[in-house]
Chains A and B, each alone.
Chain A
Amino acid sequence: MIRWLLLALGGALLGGIVHLATIIILPHTATQDAYARLARSVPVNTVAPLPEPTAESAPMPFMDPAFASAVCRYDLSQGPLKLSVPVSLAYTSVSFYTRYDVAYYAINDRAAGRRVIELDLMTVEQHSQMPEDEEITAADRLIVESPTLTGLIAIRALAPEPGLMPMAKSAIANARCVRADEPKPSR
C-alpha cells in the first residue's frame, strides 16, 4: 500500500514537471497562433491590410471590429526596417509582437505627437552595430529593438462610427514598412 502511495506521489511530482514543460513548449509548437495564421496569407516586409472581422470569417479571433487594421510581417535577417504610418483623425496605434505573439512595444498617435508615426525597427545586434554619428543624425527617429528576428507589426486605426470606416482604412492604406537600405518607393 505504502509503495503505491509513494509511486503516486512520485508520479504527481513528475506530472508537475510535465505541466510546466508543456506550458513553456506550447507557444513554440502552436500551428494556429496568430503569426502562423498570418504567415500563410501575408507577404514579408510589406504592409498588408486585414479584412474586417465578420460573423462568418475573421483573420483571427477577438479582433476589434471598430478598427481598420493592417499587419507588416517582418523579417530583420536582411537588415533593419523603416516604418511610417500616417495617423487618422480619431486614434491610430502601432503594436509590435514577437514571433510568439508577445506584445513588446506599442505607440499611439498622441505619444508619437506628429501626423506620421515614424519608427526604425532593428534587432539588438543591429542597433549596437549602428555607427555613432549616424545615430546622432537619426536622433529624432524612434528606434525600436525587436527581441526576435521575425514578428508582426499591427497597425490599427479607429473608426469611431461605422460610417468613418472608409476613412480609417484609407489612412492605414498609406502605411509603409520597407527595408531601411531600399530606396523609397515612388508614389
Chain B
Amino acid sequence: MRLLLGSLFALVVAAVVGLGATYLALTRGAAFGPLTIGSWTAWPKTGTADADPYVRASIARIGRLPTALGDGVAFTASADDNGRPLDGRCDVVLAGVTPAARFWTLTLYNADGELVANSIKRSGFTSQEIVRHADGSFEIVVAPRANPSNWLPTGGVERYVLLLRLYDTAVGVSTKAGREVPMPSVNVRSCP
C-alpha cells in the first residue's frame, strides 16, 4: 500500500512538473538565443533549420510560419521601455531609426496574432509610407484616437504587440546589440 501510494505521488509530481514546465515554456515563448535591443526582441534562429525544439513547439502551437532568416528578421515588442505592457488605450510614441534594411514593416496585432479592427483600416506601416524628419529618424504614434503625422490606430484593445520586420537585412544570428542596430524607443506619452 505504501509503495503504491508512494509511486502514485511521484507520478503526480512528474506530471505536474513536466506538463507545467511545457505550458509555461510555450505561453511565455521561451527560446534560446534572443537578440534584445531596447523593448524589441528577435529570435533570428527561429527562421533557420537550426531552430531549437522550444521554437519548433511554439511555432506549431501558434500555427504561424516564422520569417525565414534569408527573408528577414522579426522584432517583437509587447512592453514599453519601462517594462509596462503595451495598452491600446494609451498614446505610445515610437521614435528613432531602424537597422539598415531594404524594407521594413511595422504591424500591430492583438495577443493572439490577429489584426485589430479600426476605422481607417490601417494595421501597420511600411518603411515607404512613413513621414520622416530631415535626419531620417521618424516618430510613430500608436494611439486609440487620430493623431497628426504617422498614426497607427490601436482600436482601443487592452493588450497588443508590435512586430517590426526587417526585410533583406544584415541583422542575423551573429548580430550583437549595439550601435549598428538601433531600434526605435517605445514610450508612453499619455494614458487616460
Residues of A at the B interface (CB closer than 8 Å) are 3-4, 7-8, 10-24, 26-27, 30, 32-34, 36-37, 53-56, 58, 60-67, 90-91, 93, 95-97, 100-108, 110-111, 147, 152, 154, 156, 158-161
Bound Cα distance from A22 to B168, whole angstroms: 35
Closest to A156 in B: B71
Say whether B116 contacts A110, CB under 8 Å.
no
Considering only residues 106-127 of chain B, those with a C-beta below 8 Å from chain A are 107, 109, 112-118, 123-124, 126-127
Say whether B65 contacts A14, CB under 8 Å.
no
Q: Which of chain A's residues have a CB closer than 8 A to the CB of B71? A: 93, 95, 103, 106, 108, 156
Considering only residues 1-17 of chain B, those with a C-beta below 8 Å from chain A are 6-7, 9-17
The proximity string for B residues 35-76 relative to A, scoring 1 for CB distances below 8 Å and 0 otherwise, is: 000000000001111010110110111111111111110000
Given contacts A26-B61, A100-B60, A152-B65, contact A160 B128 (CB under 8 A): yes
* B163 CB-CB contact with A under 8 Å: yes
Say whether A154 contacts B65, CB under 8 Å.
yes
Say whether B115 contacts A66, CB under 8 Å.
no
Q: Which of chain B's residues have a CB closer than 8 A to the CB of A37? A: 63
Q: Which of chain A's residues have a CB closer than 8 A to the CB of B114? A: 55, 58, 61
B181 to chain A, nearest CB (A): 20
Of B15, B63, B107, chain A has the most CB atoms within 10 Å of the CB of B63
* B135 CB-CB contact with A under 8 Å: no
Q: Which of chain A's residues have a CB closer than 8 A to the CB of B134? A: none
Bound Cα distance from A60 to B65, whole angstroms: 8
Question: Contact check: which of B64, B69, B103 meets A34 at CB < 8 Å?
Answer: B64
Say whether A26 contacts B60, CB under 8 Å.
yes
Of A16, A33, A37, chain B has the most CB atoms within 10 Å of the CB of A33
Question: Contact check: which of B7, B19, B46 meets A18 at CB < 8 Å?
Answer: B19
Q: Which of chain B's residues have a CB closer than 8 A to the CB of A101? A: 56, 59-60, 64-66
Bound Cα distance from A48 to B7, whole angstroms: 53
Bound Cα distance from A54 to B126, whole angstroms: 17
Bound Cα distance from A58 to B130, whole angstroms: 25
Interface size class of B (residues with CB under 8 A): 35 or more
Q: Which of chain B's residues have a CB closer than 8 A to the CB of A10? A: 10, 13
Say whether A62 contacts B105, CB under 8 Å.
no
Given contacts A14-B11, A103-B69, A106-B70, contact A91 B18 (CB under 8 A): no
Given contacts A7-B9, A102-B49, contact A161 B126 (CB under 8 A): yes
Bound Cα distance from A101 to B61, whole angstroms: 11
A169 to chain B, nearest CB (A): 16
Q: Which of chain B's residues have a CB closer than 8 A to the CB of A27? A: 56-57, 59-60
Say whether B128 contacts A161, CB under 8 Å.
yes
Question: Contact check: which of A26, A90, A105 meets B57 at CB < 8 Å?
Answer: A26
